[in-house]
Structure 1
Amino acid sequence: MKKVAVVTDTTACIPQEQVARYDIEIVPVQLIFEDKTYRDGIDISAAEFYARLRKASRPPTTASSSPELYLEAFQKASQSAEGILCITEPSRFSAMYDSASVAKEMAAKTLPDMNIAVLDGTTAAAGQGLVALAAAREAAKGHDLNEVKETAENVMARVNLFATLDTLHYLVKSGRVPQAAALVNTILQIKPIFTLNHADARTVALPRTIKSAMKRILKLMERNVVKGEPLHAAVMHADALDNAIFLRNRIASQFNCSELFITEFTPVMGVHTGPGLLGVAFYSESS
């Protein structure tokens, strides 16, 4: 039996082969599409979701994972581990941290001997995935819960995330930005680049094309890596694989990557950003 199991959710955008390799427990987030509920990654794939989103007359919505779903994941993880580290999205963006915390309290009765730590994230999407993978690798080395949690917190403090949107159309439909902003986006064809660091989301650049956006993202990476240190990076995309491959290849040629992979952007966030999103999460091995 291993000392620590890692639990996170589908918003972390971890490829299935990595989930299986490190035995990470994934809690599905729920998508509500035309009055039907789907479990992200189980009942509907990212590719299926974005294909349907392009044709949808009504925007889909999301529902945070319930405490019961987290408790189920804790119970499964407890069968092969002495302790559990659960990593969630930032609590300021969703109720998943609260759900996981309630599940931890519930587990005190059903799993009284299980030590569970719930970590409130400061990054999301592939950034959260990189944190979970770093924690899972540490757990695979046989380290205890405190050591695995310390590794996750250390990586979390160093992760950067930059992404560009192909359109503001879906943000407007979800009520996240004013209609006027979408009008400007349509007229100017701006591809805004945003960052999500330390639970703070903000726009950092307003390029006019995806090609320019990719160049700007690479420059932002150059400013935020530690020179000479190996880089861990995850390129994420929402139904934009060709652009993701191009960006991945540029990153591979420009940086010393010890970890580099492409992953699909979680539909749970894609509800608001729409298809076409392209981004990268990364951190230097030490700082």
Structure 2
Amino acid sequence: MKPRKVAIIADTALDVPVDFAKEYDVFLLPISVIFSDGEYRDQIDISTEEVYRRLHEEIPKTSLPSGEMILRTFDAVAAKGYEEALFFTLSSGMSGTYNMLHLMAQEETRFQSFVFDTKNIGLGGGFFAMHAAVLAKEGHDLASIKAQVCDTTKKSKQFGKFKNFEFLEKGGRIGLVTAKIGTLLNIKPIISVNDDGIVYTAAKVKGNKKARKEMVELLSQFLEGHEHFCLSVQQGEAEEEASIMIDLLEERFPGKPLLEGHIGTAFGVHTGPGMIVIGAYIYK
């Protein structure tokens, strides 16, 4: 029996590269970006670069994909003849996208579907969708892809650091006093996402050089005992810093595939320019 065609859908908070999405026919479900002059669909009405440019003037809000966009995506999947669909979402601990998609997918009768909560953000979740897309193109059916990709959320991990506390303070994520003390002491919090899909502080160090070293060490601890993994470096208007992190990762993990990318809108509006995130995905 020929495997049924499987559609792969990822919300744009997972930062699946647009070129990859085109090559592997991944449907990108846009989150909403809300500025004072209107609401925009991420990667359709507004680019990540434009969002970062406007951050210096205004910090927008983000929201889960609209019900209308979800229904349009369902229609597009059905129109292309897909009989099965696998949806990947930003952590349910950060957004209502998973819950909304899960409810709406239950009402869809044109194709069989499964909604996977990655418990992550950015490429930490995007790697799941990319792995699934490769398997789908190879002809695997939904059950096979779920068994290989959706068996656990614990095979993906990211660690990130901020340039400074400016945008966290502006966005109300931390208080003014905390921001000033952190800046004065040159404290660099290293953040990650826990097993429940919630952002937490994994470590605090003084100075940028120590922060880089600690991030690589934390990632090494996560990967201990594993051989089959790929790496990622994402940056938010911080290309020079990203280049340094790439060199450090290639030195620690020689020969491992490494994906470079830009931190997307979902994370970038809260952290601002200068953010660096490194990560790894264990695919076997």
Question: TM-score scaled by structure 2?
Answer: 0.91
SS of the equivalent of 1:192 reads strand
Instruction: Give the AA of the match of 2:183.
Output: T
1:64 matched residue in structure 2: 64
Question: In the aligned structure 1, how far is the partner of 2:162 from the partner of 2:130?
Answer: 26
2:185 matched residue in structure 1: 188
Instruction: Give the AA of the match of 2:235.
Output: H
* CA distance 1:260–1:154, shift in 2 (3 Å): farther
1:121 matched residue in structure 2: 118
User: Per-residue deviation at 1:71?
Assistant: 2.2
1:230 matched residue in structure 2: 228
How many residue pairs get aligned? The number is 280
User: Per-residue deviation at 1:25?
Assistant: 0.4
Task: Provide structure 1 residue ranges, at least 5 long, that are not aligned to the other structure.
Answer: none
Work out the percentage of aligned pairs sharing the same amino acid. Answer: 29
1:168 matched residue in structure 2: 165
2:243 matched residue in structure 1: 245
SS of the equivalent of 1:262 reads strand
SS of the equivalent of 1:137 reads helix
- Post-superposition CA distance 1:163-197 (Å, at most 9, x none): 11112222222222222221212212222101113
**Paired residue for 2:145, among 135, 143, 148?**
148
Native 8 Å contact 1:238 1:274 kept in 2: yes
2:258 matched residue in structure 1: 260
SS of the equivalent of 1:202 reads strand
Instruction: Give the AA of the match of 2:176.
Output: Q
Question: In the aligned structure 2, how far is the partner of 1:257 from the partner of 1:144?
Answer: 31
- Post-superposition CA distance 1:232-271 (Å, at most 9, x none): 1121111112211221232123214543111111112211
Question: In the aligned structure 1, how far is the partner of 2:267 from the partner of 2:37?
Answer: 18
1:88 to 2:86 alignment: no
- Post-superposition CA distance 1:175-226 (Å, at most 9, x none): 2222222121221222210111321321122223333222111111211114
Question: TM-score scaled by structure 1?
Answer: 0.90
SS of the equivalent of 1:65 reads coil
Cα RMSD over matched residues?
1.9
Instruction: Give the AA of the match of 1:206.
Output: K
1:217 matched residue in structure 2: 215
Task: Provide structure 2 residue ranges, at least 5 long, that are not aligned to the other structure.
Answer: none
2:43 matched residue in structure 1: 41
2:16 matched residue in structure 1: 14
SS of the equivalent of 1:41 reads coil
Question: In the aligned structure 2, how far is the partner of 1:153 from the partner of 1:105?
Answer: 19
